[in-house]
Structure formats: C-alpha cells, structure tokens
Amino acid sequence: GTLDDVKARGELNCGVNTGLVGFAAPDANGNWTGFDVAICKAVAAAVLGDASKVKYVPTTGQTRFTALASGEVDVLARNSTWTYSRDTDLKLDFVGVNYYDGQGFMVRKDLGVSSAKELEGATVCIQTGTTTELNLADFFKANNMSYQPIAIDTNAEGEQQYLAGACDAYTTDISGLAATRAAFADPENHIILPEVVSKEPLGPAVRHGDNQWGDIVMWTLNALVAAEEYGVTSANIDELSKGTENPEINRLLGTEGDLGAMVGLDKDWAKRAIKAGGNYGEIFAATIGEQTPIGLARGLNAQWTQGGLLYAPPFR
C-alpha cells in the first residue's frame, strides 16, 4: 500500500498549489509554507517521524487529480473542493475538510456594486480547471444574468488581470480572494461581495481504494482538530504527553493504548503530527489567521464548541 511505499521512499510526495499565498507558496529560499503545506508536514511527521521529509509537487488546476491518480503524489493537499463526482467518478477519496470555504466575488469599491446580483453584463475572471467556472455558470443562470468569462491559468495572472481592470470581478473561493486582496497595495479599495454562491469544503484527498492510507491522512487531520479542542498545543505537548487526567488526550498522544498500531503506525504518531506545526488553531493563526496579512477570521472554521463546523470524531 501507499504507506509502505512512503516508508520505503522515506519521503512523502505531497501535491500542493503552484503558489497561493497563505495556503501553499515557496518562500524566497524555495521552502514551502502555508495552511495546506502544514497538512503535508503533519502527515510526514506522523508517518516518517520527520516533518521535513516532504517533496512538494506543485500542481496546476489541470494536473492535480491526475498527479494523484497516477501515484505521482501520495496525498493532495491543494485547496480542492470535495464534490460528489470527484469523490466517485474521478476515483478520489476526500478524507475530511480542513477549510470550509465558499465562492465569492471581489470587485473594486469604486464600481459601486454591493451585491453579486448587480453584476449583470460584467466581465469576470475565473481560474480554469476548477469548480468555480461551473458554479459561476450556475449562479448567473439562476439569476438570469449574462456575463463575460475571462479564463486565466493561475492565480498570479488573475490578480494581474483584475488589478489592471481587465475584469470587473474576480471570482474564486473567498479564502483565496482574501489572500489575494491582502497582497494588494491598496486592499481597502476592493471589497468581497457578501454573496457566497457555493459550498466549497476544501480538504486533502487520497487515491480511492487504499483505505489504510486514507485513514492515516484522515486521522492526522482529525488529530490536529482534536488537539485544538483539547487544548494540546505545540508548547505544552511534551508536558501533556507525560500523561494527563484526560484519557482522550492520553489516547491521542499515545500515552495510553496503542491507537497507532491500528493504522500501521507507532504510538507517538499523533504527537509528532501535532508537534510539526501545532494544532489546527495554531496552524490557522500562523498561516492565514487574523494576525497574518491574509487576515481570515475563523468563521465556519471554528471548533464546534465555538459555533463553527470543526468537529473531530472521538479518539477511541
């Protein structure tokens, strides 16, 4: 299975975006950072014991699923929407959701538009090879409006076109819009319209059929979420792993029982995964949270206890 391959290789092949600030982008030295990248690191830490043993494979909207299907990557952590047909027809398995998103529109303030319903006749830039172009068609159709699509290949070009005024509106997932807007010289002159025209649950995906590997990725993600819920952070994890009163935490960190063996890993797998970049909340805050230039609020992505949708199944 994939697990053995990865162990034999000593390296995790992780499919990421070619460059989306905050989610996955190489820094000036070519080191990859971001919210999606953190998933790769966590899985690598869990499986291989070393968060740096990841080979990042930049994939475009066009090549990502093939890269996964053909085995070029072991896991795809590239802001991809979980949809029915992708899960079934494309033979992928989405193992969870790491970011609840929705498609929105960004326009210039001086356009004087305050709702997406006023975009009749507008020119809209969309990134090809994504669900966005289908959502966009559906949205305008439902509202009986016409529009002019301008297809672009990458986010960088979308920005360029939008900033140059080649399109009235730029549409993609709201997280992406926020990230893009954050990088503008004048973010205050652009607004993200309130309509969310689609549900975009983004999550890591693995190949269909290798359930063991799917479980590992799924529960690594769950471990990060659960860690936040139980207050396990990278700061206190060594402390806590010595043993706590909370049996859930003990099981999670391997102090009690041997959950790791059930997926073919050792006891400490989750501990390492959490140590790699902190728990979900820490990752969020460090990469796309309100303190970062991207400045996304937790919103739907808060813990269920905080009114969000994050809800890790119990570790037992």
Partner 1 sequence: MVTVSDAPEPGFRLSQLIYDTRYRSLTIQVVVFMLFVASTAWLVDNTVRNLSAMGKDFNFGFLWNRAGYDIGQMLIPYSNDSTHARAMLVGLLNTLLVSALGCIAATIIGVFVGVLRLSKNWLVGRLMTVYVEVFRNVPLLLWILIVYAIFTEVMPAPNAYRIDPATGEAAMSALLFDSIAPTNRYTAIPSIRFDRPLGSLDLGWITLSGTFLGFVAAVAAGVWANSVVRRRAVAVQNATGVRPTTWWKSVLLLTVPAVVVLVATGFHLNLPTLKGFNFTGGTNVSNSLVVLWLALTLYTGAFIAEIVRAGILAVSRGQTEAAYALGLRPGRTMSLVILPQALRVIVPPLISQFLNLTKNSSLAIAVGYMDLRGTLGGITLNQTGRELEAILLMMLIYLAISLIISGLMNIYNNSVKLKER
Partner 2 sequence: MTESSAAFVRRDMLPPQAPPATQAGVLKWLRENLFSSPLNAVLTLAGAYVVWWLVAHSYPWLSHSVWNAGSLSECRAIIAERWGADATGACWAVIKERWHQYIFGFYPPELYWRPISVFLLLFVALAPVLFSAVPRVLLVFTVVYPFLATWLLWGGSPWIEVMILVGFVLGWAAFRIASRYGSLLAVSVALAVPALWWVFAAGPMDRALEQAIRLAIEKVASDKFGGFLLAVTIGVGGIAMSLPLGILLALGRRSDMFLIKALSVGFIEFIRGVPLITLLFVASLLLNYFLPPGTNFDIILRVEILVTLFAAAYIAEVVRGGLAALPRGQYEAADSLGLDYWKAQRLIILPQALKISIPGIVSTFIGMFKDTTLVVFVGLFDPLKGISDFVRADFNWKGIYWEPYIFVGCIFFLFNFSMSRYSMYLENKLKRDHR
164 near partner 1, rule: CB under 8 A:
yes
Residue among 93, 101, 159, 228 that touches partner 2 (CB under 8 A): 159
Which residues, 6 or more positions from 196, have their beta carbon under 8 angstroms from its beta carbon? 102, 103, 104, 174
Beta bridge partners of 99: 202
CB-wise, 67 or 310, nearer to partner 1?
Answer: 67
Interface segment toward partner 1; rule CB under 8 A; list 25-33, 161-169, 274-282, 305-313:
161-169
Please choose which of partner 1, partner 2, none residue 292 contacts, taking the beta carbon within 5 to 8 angstroms, the exact cut-off set by kind. none
Closest CA to 263 of 47, 77, 54: 47
Please choose which of partner 2, partner 1, none residue 133 contacts, taking the beta carbon within 5 to 8 angstroms, the exact cut-off set by kind. partner 1
CB-wise, 199 or 208, nearer to partner 1?
Answer: 208
128 near partner 1, rule: CB under 8 A:
yes
Residues touching partner 2, count (CB under 8 A): 33
Residue among 209, 247, 293, 313 that touches partner 2 (CB under 8 A): 293
User: Which residues of the shown chain bind partner 2 in the complex (CB under 8 A)?
Assistant: 18-21, 25-30, 55-60, 63, 66-67, 70-72, 153-154, 156-157, 159-160, 163, 183-185, 293
